[in-house]
Amino acid sequence: MAQRIIVTGAAGFIGSNLVRGLNQRGFTDIIAVDNLTNGDKALNLVDLALSDYQDKTNFYTALEQGYYGHIDTIFHEGACSSTIEQNGQYMMENNYQKSKILLEYCQKTGTRLLYASSAATYGASSIFKEAALYECPLNVYGYSKLLFDQIVRRSLPQMHTQVAGFRYFNVYGPHEQHKGGMASVAFHNYHQFVSNGQVKLFGEYGGYLPGQQMRDFLFIEDLVATKLWFFDHPEQSGVFNLGTGKAQPFNDIAVTVVNSVRKKSGLSSLSLAEMVEQDILHYMPFPQTLKGKYQCFTQADMELLRNTGCDIEFRSVERGVEDYVNYLHKK
């Protein structure tokens, strides 16, 4: 039977890749919801099959009034994703209140809800496990995501449908070009190197040597594959980490970007030390504005997700970033 699906944030980085993944499986009755004030985001939708597009301004009221008919599944990717946004009222309205409307709707209708949370819920914790003990966000973005996760956890015993949240770690890959400063390090490193022959990273900070701050970097196609695995397993609910489970330093991103581009030109690979020596890799002083608000280390504890039976294999930085560079080079 055909399914009607809603994807919020559908013109964004993760949302558009998710619609693409659904299209590849033959799902086309998809209502895309977004805010196209930034018109460049529309380019992420041009090659996708949709049944409708709705601006987010009118969407939530129309949904509550039953305007869209029966909805099988909502993939909720829409949010203010800027970790440096200081307007807490705006953040809570977008990330918390709107999510709560969807949860209440799904509770009433039995519609399934698969939504985006964030590793920002952990703040400066050194343990990234889905438990209150380790959840201490450093900014209002992280708090907006955490509060909704807490509401979901409290609601799950009364839910008669699938509700699954995913704490994304550092996601990178195609269709993030509209994000500007919030685009991934891989995206910025690639364009820096192609334009100027140099890649810039943060210098020493937080007890880490230059470029050695570590994050759990996740390739977008692996994220989509995981979300679709849960789409195939409606019996699985909860709040789950979604990363690779292996932290790697920012230096690994830069080295892979540089060597992948060099490979395209028939040039040999360089070591990290050679890149630093030749000033291909340049370290900048750590910004004063980020001090005390920056996660120097993230690594998803993947036990809870793996316990569901989800067996998606995640790419390392070396493989994922090379795949991404190959994509960017064709653009």
Q: Which helix (H) or strand (E) holds 263?
A: helix 250-264
Residues 6+ apart with CB under 8 A from 226: 166, 242, 305, 310, 312
Query: Is residue 100 among the annotated active site residues?
Result: no
Residues 6+ apart with CB under 8 A from 252: 317, 318
Catalytic residue from among 179, 246, 263, 293: 179
Q: Are 159 and 236 in contact (CB under 8 A)?
A: no
Q: Are 262 and 194 in contact (CB under 8 A)?
A: no
CA distance 264 to 52: 40
Catalytic residue from among 41, 115, 122, 141: 141
Q: Which helix (H) or strand (E) holds 172?
A: strand 170-172
Query: Is residue 200 among the annotated active site residues?
Result: no
Residue type, 169: F
Phi, psi of 177 (to 5 degrees): -60, -25
Residues 6+ apart with CB under 8 A from 120: 83, 137, 138, 139, 141, 142, 145, 295
CA distance 44 to 10: 9
Altogether, the residues listed in the chain come to a count of 331
Instruction: Using alpha carbons, list the distances in angstroms from residue 144 to 58, 63, 102, 131, 202.
Output: 22, 22, 15, 16, 27
Nearest in space to 256 (alpha carbons), one of 283, 297, 217, 300: 217
Catalytic residue annotation: 141, 179
